[in-house]
């Protein structure tokens, strides 16, 4: 069964790396390929919904947990390698974009392996049964890790710099296409349905696989979630799905987003409270909210769908609810 795990303001190139990382890590730990695609992406409203196979994800999480418990150095070796590779990416982040299609191609080729390492440390952090020492290390590192956000921005800038005609569609380009971009009509069509990135191919909706869709009422007056930092505040809603809109938030507005990333920090500093669809107590929004001491409710699942810009709400993080006023 596939469920919507995340919503990201990112591109298909880096999401392909996420799929590659999932499948190669699973094969490495399990000793065989997964029976089904582990991840399916859906382009929607300028963001990408990441649908993951629930049972395979749970199995991968257990495989990582077992490895961490049986080999005390497994996590540290992985994280050390991940960190040792960061200077390569930091060089390009400072450069802001690739200067040639070949340079971009080489960057993308290296990216897949780094994302595999990212997934391993990320899932160690997510699993509450992971050794506490490893969770503490991963939590501290995640506070400043900007790999995902900065790499995504670099890829976007590179495509627009090298291929100006992709502007507005740069998030629909696949890894194998960085040397030869498809015509605009093809990129436009990719915004209309499920994208299965298996072996770098655009396959379509993959309708024969089971999906678990969320159900909710659009007239919901009270939204429930999990409190990440206590407090109560009222304010106008500001829906943030695209990182490009971060600077538009006004002081004291309620930041409502599928999730948060380090490059949303300006918006998080200005807002009166934070509400997300996704996340647990170790997610970025929760960690930052505790540092900023701002009321925060995470894991509502439906906040960005039920609320709209300008709605007046009360965020009651004492009770873990958001109430329309």
* Domain extent listing, the chain: 2-211, 222-324
What pLDDT is stored for residue 274 in this prediction? 98
Instruction: Considering the domain delimited by 222-324, tell me its CATH architecture.
Output: 3-Layer(bba) Sandwich (3.50)
Higher confidence at residue 25 or residue 140? 25
The per-residue pLDDT for range 245-291, each reduced to its tens digit, is: 889 999 999 999 998 988 789 999 999 999 999 888 888 899 999 99
140 has pLDDT over 70: yes
The per-residue pLDDT for range 222-251, each reduced to its tens digit, is: 999 999 999 999 999 999 988 878 899 999
104 has pLDDT over 80: yes
User: What's the whole-number average pLDDT of the chain?
Assistant: 89
Please tell me the pTM assigned to this model.
0.77
204 has pLDDT over 60: no
180 has pLDDT over 80: yes
Report the C-alpha gap between 238 and 254 in whole angstroms.
Answer: 6
Report the C-alpha gap between 325 and 321 in whole angstroms.
Answer: 12
- CA 285 to the chain's CA centroid: 12
Lowest mean pLDDT among 55-69, 166-180, 182-196, 298-312: 182-196
The per-residue pLDDT for range 3-32, each reduced to its tens digit, is: 888 888 888 899 999 999 999 999 999 999
Q: Is 54 exposed, middle or buried (0-12, 13-18, 19+ CB in 10 A)?
A: middle
Angle at 181 between CA 175 and CA 182, to 5 degrees: 105
199 has pLDDT over 90: no
What mean pLDDT do residues 304-312 have? 93
55 has pLDDT over 60: yes
Q: Which residues is 3 bridged to in the sheet? A: 52, 212
Report the C-alpha gap between 287 and 266 in whole angstroms.
Answer: 15
Structure tokens at 128: 């509450």
């Amino acid at each position: 069964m596939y469920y919507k795990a995340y919503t990201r303001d990112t591109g298909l190139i880096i999401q392909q790396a996420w799929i590659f990382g999932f499948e190669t890590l699973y094969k490495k730990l399990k000793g065989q390929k997964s029976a089904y695609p582990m991840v399916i992406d859906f382009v929607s409203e300028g963001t990408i919904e990441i649908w993951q196979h629930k049972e395979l994800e749970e199995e991968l999480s257990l495989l990582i947990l077992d490895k961490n418990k049986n080999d005390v150095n497994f996590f540290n070796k992985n994280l050390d390698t991940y960190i040792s590779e960061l200077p390569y990416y930091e060089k390009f982040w400072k450069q802001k974009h690739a200067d040639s299609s070949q340079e971009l191609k080489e960057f993308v080729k290296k990216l897949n392996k780094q994302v595999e390492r990212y997934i391993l440390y990320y899932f160690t952090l997510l699993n509450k049964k992971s050794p506490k020492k490893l969770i503490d290390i991963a939590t501290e590192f995640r506070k400043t890790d900007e790999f995902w956000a900065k790499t995504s921005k670099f890829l976007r800038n590179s495509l627009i710099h090298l291929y100006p005609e992709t502007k507005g569609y740069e998030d629909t380009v696949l890894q194998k296409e960085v040397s030869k971009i498809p015509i605009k009509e093809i990129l436009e069509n990719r915004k209309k349905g499920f994208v299965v990135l298996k072996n770098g191919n655009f396959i379509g909706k993959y309708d024969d696989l089971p999906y678990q869709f969320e159900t909710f009422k659009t007239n919901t007056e009270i939204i429930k979630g999990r409190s990440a930092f206590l407090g109560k505040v009222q304010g106008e809603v500001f829906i943030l799905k695209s990182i490009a809109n971060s600077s538009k938030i006004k002081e004291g507005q309620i930041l409502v987003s599928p999730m948060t990333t380090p490059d949303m920090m300006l918006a998080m500093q200005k807002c009166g409270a934070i509400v997300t669809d996704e996340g647990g107590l170790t997610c970025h929004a929760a960690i930052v909210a505790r540092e900023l001491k701002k009321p925060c409710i995470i894991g509502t699942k439906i906040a960005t769908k039920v609320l709209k810009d300008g709605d007046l709400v009360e965020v009651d993080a004492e009770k873990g609810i958001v109430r329309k006023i």
